[in-house]
Amino acid sequence: MAIQTNSDCWGSIREEPLNIENISRSKNESTAIVYFFHGSGSNGHDIKTWLKSVCNEEFSFPHINVIYPDAPLQRYRLNQNMESNVWFNREDLSETSKENKESVNKMCKTVLKNIEEEVAKGTPYNRIVLGGFSMGGALALHLAYRFNKPFAGCFVISSFLNNDSLVYEALDADSNAKKLPLIQLHGESDTLIPLKSGLNLQKKLGERGVNVTFKSYANTDHEIVREEVVLLKEWLLNTLPPL
């Protein structure tokens, strides 16, 4: 049930507030937040519904608010320059292509502004986890490892980074960023972002000192499966335990 479309590209991001209407609120008073970023061509409601269908229950926690933002609608090169809901643009779904740094930076600025608003409301950075599926995972890596914010952790599912990524540059320059724990999940039969791309990401992050927990899944394409969700929920509860 892969929701993400085969698309990624050029075009300017519209300057607009981040849509965060899609939220799974904690049953009690929230003491932590998880940002779950969807893949290209999708939206927050889609991935929220997808996670629920995988495990026949909502992806929720007693003390954690899970936020599923919507990417802005913008022209996307891998979608024949037609408009699509994407976090940033790409030339190709390959590590060897050049990263669209301007596009990535604009989106990071928008999302960080929203995160800063949540921190101002009372949730500290060390009680916030960033993560996502495919392109959403790549966005999470940029936010987690480039901006010197003491987030609690990061997770990515079926994601990759360009070899010239600003994430690697930031890790080369800042040893503190490496302390942020990361869990990386990838399907061994992924036909959109091959397993080798996920392994390359693990290798490059590990070489820079990031403590990566990597898990691959047999007979899994570009999708989210129950086993991944179960492991992710366990990891999140260990990373953001009740206070």
Model confidence pLDDT, tens digit, residues 192-242: 999 999 999 999 999 999 999 999 999 999 999 999 999 999 999 999 999
User: CATH fold of 23-239, please?
Assistant: Rossmann fold (3.40.50)
Computed over every residue of the chain, the mean pLDDT equals 89
Statement: residue 126 has pLDDT above 70: yes
pLDDT of residue 79: 66
Statement: residue 16 has pLDDT above 90: no
**Is pTM, for the whole model, over 0.95?**
no
Percent of the chain with pLDDT over 70: 89
| Euclidean distance between the first and the last CA atom of the chain, given in angstroms as a whole number | 35
Tens of pLDDT, residues 182-191: 999 999 999 9
- Residues labelled as active-site residues: 134, 190, 222
Percent of the chain with pLDDT over 90: 77
Tens of pLDDT, residues 23-80: 777 777 899 999 999 999 999 999 999 999 999 999 999 999 999 999 988 877 766 6
Statement: residue 5 has pLDDT above 50: no
